Structure 1
Amino acid sequence: MTHRQVLEALTGLLLGMFVSMLASTVVSSSLPVIVHDLDGNQAAFTWVVTATLLTTAISTPIWGKLADLTNRKVLYQLAIVIFVVATASAGFAQNPEMLIASRAVQGIGAGGLAALSQVLMADIISPRERGRYMGLFGAVMALATIGGPLLGGVITDAWGWRWNFFVSLPVAIVALIIVQKTLHIPSRPKKKTSIDYLGIVLLSVSVSLLLIWVTNAGTHKLDNWSDLGNNDWWSLLTLLMVGGAILAGILFVIVELVVTEPLIPLDLFKSRTFTLAVVASIATGIAMFGASVFLSQYMQLARGATPTQAGLMTIPMIAGLLLASVGIGGLVTKYGRWKSYLVVGSVLLIAGAWLLSTIHYDTNFALVSLYMFLLGAGVGMTMQNLVLVVQNSTDPSKIGVASSGVTFFRSLGGTIGVSVMGAALAAKVAELLGAAKADLAQALLSLGADAPHWAAQLQSGSLPKVSAMPEALRVIFEDIYAQGISHSFLIAVPFAIISLIAICFLPNKPLTRMTTSERLQASEADLATVSVPEAMQELTATGPISLTRREAREAGLSAE
């Protein structure tokens, strides 16, 4: 394909990626307002995000497996349709439960868009050339992440938060049309397909039980299961949920070993590149998703910003992501080297996460901006390049499951990371509120006739709107939430260190100049030659005989 044809085909993929990211980022700056308006609490806030990440993580390997079995273009268009329907439903949500359910379905579509865009890109662009195009993906991600919170804040302040969901619908429809007109991929031979339904169920049960436990443990009592005791970190309920997650996980592994078409082929983990890339992707996911969720909350709950201001205040992180993704993508294509950039990126991840764990409500914003920039640059240098190195070393017939495998573990890492960070934040805030009872009582007394109103607000358990609070209360809550959010960022640091170790051990394999389609066609055509074993060399006076694999088989020789 010519450069122009590639760009035309990529337009639909980029728009699909853009709209899936926009749907998440456009509500990030307005989530505190949304949850407050729907009378939700901190757990609801976390689950509005986690529900999407959970279904994205679970559906990603399913989409990837289907991509290896059926028409990838049709699957991509189906993902867009699912995404559009769920996004519209979220816009009409009347309570936290309906919003969470809509966001869960939205995640199924987003999982398809994230996984299939990478697979389709590999069909038309070689790994060596993919660096600069990966830069385009990074630029679109940065644009969605910059413009999303900013647009979301403006829309929320001007027309209400529901329009945050409706705004992405026209873009998704345009992406659907462009993909139909411009994306032409080589036809694939038809073969009998087998879907691993049991594997899908077991994976969903295992991940869901783990995340529900992490989100709720240590925060409150589950009324429906009151006979099991308090929902503490160490309780009978914890034993049942964690034990169930582990059991479902073990059964999933057993099923994957025996089914014909496993959801995640375990032989992929025989590849050191795939295994180490998966480990590194988990930390990248925690940093990326955790930062996008909790930085917006920090700006609004710890610094009293409006949704629009919160969107503007997160620009330094996105600037780091944009510059690193585009710049490093170009360098990878130009020089064909990738490992040093991944190492530097993982170091920046560690630095950014650790520095963000030190922020307070009154930390100089120039320092906070620097910390965000470092974290963004780390994500930009590692995220897309980890997928690239896996695609470069994987059997072309397994590109779908390999690409989606890395994306799956990145999403899973992000999901677990957000859940753990959210649980840590909720527990820390509850602890600090308990310690600040005397200060809160004194602040309420100073409000005079308004004291009963604010006392009722605090007792409701819903997420507070800090920017609207009187000064006496606002200072206390800003300090409490700043401590809670900075504490949650500390959780990402050890994962970032593990990511650095994994990347250091990645095999430094050169990038090929063949696309996935070309590699697959070459493999199917049996064009690679082999040398005849030494015992047969006496048949020729000119040295080893070079045969195609087909000729070797006909002669009764092994391809090796």
Structure 2
Amino acid sequence: MTADVVAQDEQAMPKGRDLYVVLGALMLAMLLAALDQTIVATALPTIVSDLGGLNHLAWIVTAYLLAATASTPLWGKLGDQYGRKRLFQTSIVIFLVGSALCGLARDMTELIVFRALQGLGGGGLMVLAVAIVGDVVPPRERGRYQGLFGAVFGVASVCGPLLGGWFVDNLSWHWVFYINVPIGILALLVIAAVLPSTGERERHRIDYLGTVLIVGWAVGLVLATTWAGTRYDWLSAPIVGLVVASAVLIGVWLLVERRAAEPIMPPRLLADSVFSLGSAISFAVGFAMFGALTFLPIFLQVVHGVSPTLSGVHLLPMMLGMLVSSIGSGQLISRFGRYKIFPVAGTPIIALALYLCSRLDENASTLSMSLRFALLGFGLGLVMQVLVIAVQNAVSYRDLGAATSGVTFFRQIGGSFGVAVFGSVFSNRLAAHVEDLAPVLPPGFDPSAVQGNPQLLDRYPAEVQQGVLHAYAQSIDSVFLWAVPVAAVGFVLTWFLREVPLRATSQTRDYGEGFGAAPTVRSSRHEMERALSELMRKDPKALELYERLGARSGVGLPAGSVWALCRIAKDVTVTGRELAERAGVAIEHGRPYVDRLVDAGYVRRRDGTLAITGSGRAVAERLFTARREGLARHVEGWSPEEHPELADVLARLAEASLGDEADGEILGPGPEPTGRRA
């Protein structure tokens, strides 16, 4: 990799307004996909009341989660292989078609199928948007911009339930899905007009069979947990058959993954204790989080009679608690380098919060509920990001991307199971409690209709009202009580989680992981570029950085001349005016620094054009090497000498981060002018 190739890559990237327009469209598309995991939560009671099918309620959430989780590895690798722009546009179209069809759904079966289609597109939106950032943003700035994309997940987590409730109250539940269409079309048009078809192409052996098998065993187990105890007995032939078939598919999947050229999840990862324990804990966290998000709105709207919008407001303490602890734990880990304490503390907090939620009833105060929801969110935030850090820190470089994806994969699968199990428990317990109420209920009374319109109870005697509300409260209490053992198992597992001394790259925060809103698929290369980019943001000020590099390389030049030499070496030839514009100074102000290079024979000046000489290129290579060695200290233990790809990442970032756009500080008061003219 030569400096001029790096410079050409940078020149192909959008600049200024075009860059911000592209990033805005990408963030908008990702926001839509992330919102659709949480926005339906507060609309679920109304949807079930309108379409019927209380027993299938969980599948409205589960279908989206499973489709998005299973499809993200395919989108990621297809994007690497065929280019991301067209695939990103394709994923937007699929998502919009799914959204429109969801809004038009006439029954629960149609809605579930269309939600799966929507999830298929949503998986592409999330993984490709993050990948495209690497195509359009210079390496030194990627950490900053990817941090903005991580914040999108936080916004989606906080605003999703609130927006869903607002649409139900002011329009209809159909608009929870319709709203995606105009916004998505806007993002599609902007991407088509502004996003360049850039990015390197990388050949892959795509693991289609592994993907199909994952979907097979996940759907089989989720169906078993959904139907057991409701449609069929736990030991009935259909349930036993689903469990056995899923177990067989898991066995076949492991065999296929062992032989696949590029498996979705290398089986060797499952033998790593940190990864396997981290994934198991992540499963438990996803189980609790998505289950709570799905059934708390039902409790609030039915048992406490609040509007869908207000039920979203009531969930804000949970989201804010998750936000605070996620950001706070990340900062503490970066400062002290210790991470095990957070899941050890977070999982019992989750278990306690779930138990306290199981004690809520129709008489609970708003303050009491808010404190319990905030406690649950606080516990979740302490665990989610830390599990990603733990596995990234423990695995080898070749498994870095797969390990990161694997932990988020198990969290999403845990969410699918959590929603399914919670749904089964809720339906089963509600049916039992309603049966107990049969003597006092009027003929033909349908308790599920209360979910969409709690005011229906107003027409019945107080005895009926209190009985139905108590039945709902008890049923949802059972849901949270069943989740307590899952969180408790997660707590026990955290004690066996081995704490490995934290690498520098593992101390960088990825807020997208902290909020747990989306499955992640990044290669080891992309993961390392993100971490190093974040670490480069902590570099000393530009003036000090170039002074250090000059001294370390034995180059007797001021910082401004070092910067100019790196820039000219990357451009090969550049006019004095263009160089001054890049430096952010007037051409007269920067001339003395270039004069030094001309006097030393590093740069040749002719008719206002500056060109690198052979000796100048040799000195620039010394500077690039010093920068590369400095970055290599951040990846100590990753063995770049054993991984050519990692060595290439270091070389690219070293060259790309020197001689980039300056703000005028580097070419501050410097050497005396030599009298030469540009």
Which TM-score tier does this pair reach, normalised by the shorter chain?
A: 0.7 to 0.9
SS at match of 2:36: helix
SS at match of 1:24: coil
* Alpha-carbon distance change, 368 to 550 in structure 1, aligned in 2, over 3 angstroms: closer
Cα separation, 1, equivalents of 2:116 and 2:225? 18
Equivalent position to 1:212, from 206, 209, 223: 223
Aligned residues of 1:60 and 1:405 also touching (Cα < 8 A):
no
Cα separation, 2, equivalents of 1:416 and 1:550? 38
Equivalent position to 1:466, from 446, 454, 474: 454
User: Number of residue pairs matched?
Assistant: 504
Q: 1:451 — aligned with what? A: none
- Structural mapping, 1:354-393, within 5 Å: 354-393=355-394
Q: 1:136: Cα distance to partner?
A: 5.1
- Structural mapping, 1:112-261, within 5 Å: 112-116=124-128, 139-175=151-187, 187-188=199-200, 190-191=202-203, 193-220=204-231, 231-261=232-262
Aligned residues of 1:300 and 1:466 also touching (Cα < 8 A):
yes
Amino acid corresponding to residue 34 of structure 1 in structure 2: I
Cα-to-partner distance string for 1:404-431 (whole Å, 9 max, x where unaligned)? 2222111110101110111011111111
Aligned residues of 1:65 and 1:401 also touching (Cα < 8 A):
no
Q: 2:272 — aligned with what? A: 271
Q: 1:32 — aligned with what? A: 45
Q: 1:311: Cα distance to partner?
A: 1.5
**Superposition RMSD on alpha carbons, in Å?**
3.9
Residue identity (%): 35
SS at match of 1:94: coil
Q: 1:46: Cα distance to partner?
A: 1.8
Amino acid corresponding to residue 41 of structure 1 in structure 2: G
Q: 2:62 — aligned with what? A: 50
Cα-to-partner distance string for 1:376-398 (whole Å, 9 max, x where unaligned)? 11222322333344345555555
Aligned residues of 1:325 and 1:380 also touching (Cα < 8 A):
yes
* Alpha-carbon distance change, 550 to 414 in structure 1, aligned in 2, over 3 angstroms: closer
TM-score by length of 2: 0.66
- Structural mapping, 1:266-345, within 5 Å: 266-345=267-346
Aligned residues of 2:303 and 2:469 also touching (Cα < 8 A):
yes
Aligned residues of 1:232 and 1:238 also touching (Cα < 8 A):
yes
- Structural mapping, 1:447-526, within 5 Å: 455-458=443-446, 465-470=453-458, 472=462, 473-504=464-495, 505-513=497-505, 516-517=525-526, 519=528
Cα-to-partner distance string for 1:321-380 (whole Å, 9 max, x where unaligned)? 222233334444455544333433333222222211221121233121111001111222
Amino acid corresponding to residue 105 of structure 2 in structure 1: A
Q: 1:248: Cα distance to partner?
A: 1.3
Q: 1:550: Cα distance to partner?
A: 11
Q: 1:13: Cα distance to partner?
A: 5.2
* Alpha-carbon distance change, 135 to 348 in structure 1, aligned in 2, over 3 angstroms: farther
Which has the bigger relative contact order, CA under 8 A and spacing at least 6? 1
Cα separation, 1, equivalents of 2:138 and 2:390? 14
Cα separation, 1, equivalents of 2:193 and 2:260? 37
* Alpha-carbon distance change, 518 to 236 in structure 1, aligned in 2, over 3 angstroms: closer
Cα separation, 1, equivalents of 2:191 and 2:268? 33
1:19 paired to 2:32: yes
Amino acid corresponding to residue 317 of structure 1 in structure 2: M
Q: 2:108 — aligned with what? A: 96
Aligned residues of 1:29 and 1:296 also touching (Cα < 8 A):
yes
Q: Bigger CA drift: 135-144 or 206-215?
A: 135-144
SS at match of 1:458: coil
Cα separation, 2, equivalents of 1:334 and 1:77? 40
- Which blocks of at least 5 consecutive residues in structure 1 are unaligned? 221-230, 445-454, 529-546, 552-560
Q: 1:224 — aligned with what? A: none
Cα separation, 2, equivalents of 1:478 and 1:52? 30
Aligned residues of 2:283 and 2:413 also touching (Cα < 8 A):
yes
* Alpha-carbon distance change, 181 to 351 in structure 1, aligned in 2, over 3 angstroms: farther
Cα-to-partner distance string for 1:503-550 (whole Å, 9 max, x where unaligned)? 44143342434994595899xx9999xxxxxxxxxxxxxxxxxx9779
Aligned residues of 2:53 and 2:108 also touching (Cα < 8 A):
no
Aligned residues of 2:227 and 2:239 also touching (Cα < 8 A):
no
* Alpha-carbon distance change, 477 to 137 in structure 1, aligned in 2, over 3 angstroms: farther
Cα separation, 1, equivalents of 2:263 and 2:426? 37
- Which blocks of at least 5 consecutive residues in structure 2 are unaligned? 1-9, 509-523, 533-623, 630-639, 645-678
Amino acid corresponding to residue 153 of structure 1 in structure 2: G
Cα-to-partner distance string for 1:161-218 (whole Å, 9 max, x where unaligned)? 2111122334444555677789899944633x32222222222221112111211222
Structure 1 residue runs of 4 or more that deviate by more than 6 Å after TM superposition: 4-10, 118-127, 132-135, 177-186, 459-462, 525-528, 547-551
* Alpha-carbon distance change, 426 to 324 in structure 1, aligned in 2, over 3 angstroms: same
* Alpha-carbon distance change, 115 to 550 in structure 1, aligned in 2, over 3 angstroms: closer
Q: 1:483: Cα distance to partner?
A: 0.7
Cα separation, 1, equivalents of 2:23 and 2:388? 17
Cα-to-partner distance string for 1:275-327 (whole Å, 9 max, x where unaligned)? 22211210111121111100011111221222122122212111212222333
Cα separation, 1, equivalents of 2:90 and 2:192? 12
Aligned residues of 1:60 and 1:115 also touching (Cα < 8 A):
yes
* Alpha-carbon distance change, 141 to 457 in structure 1, aligned in 2, over 3 angstroms: farther
Cα separation, 2, equivalents of 1:496 and 1:121? 36
Equivalent position to 2:95, from 66, 78, 83: 83
* Alpha-carbon distance change, 499 to 276 in structure 1, aligned in 2, over 3 angstroms: same
TM-score by length of 1: 0.78
Cα separation, 2, equivalents of 1:272 and 1:105? 35
* Alpha-carbon distance change, 246 to 47 in structure 1, aligned in 2, over 3 angstroms: same
Q: 1:119: Cα distance to partner?
A: 6.2
SS at match of 1:369: helix
Q: 1:139: Cα distance to partner?
A: 4.5
* Alpha-carbon distance change, 460 to 366 in structure 1, aligned in 2, over 3 angstroms: closer
* Alpha-carbon distance change, 394 to 400 in structure 1, aligned in 2, over 3 angstroms: same
Amino acid corresponding to residue 508 of structure 1 in structure 2: V
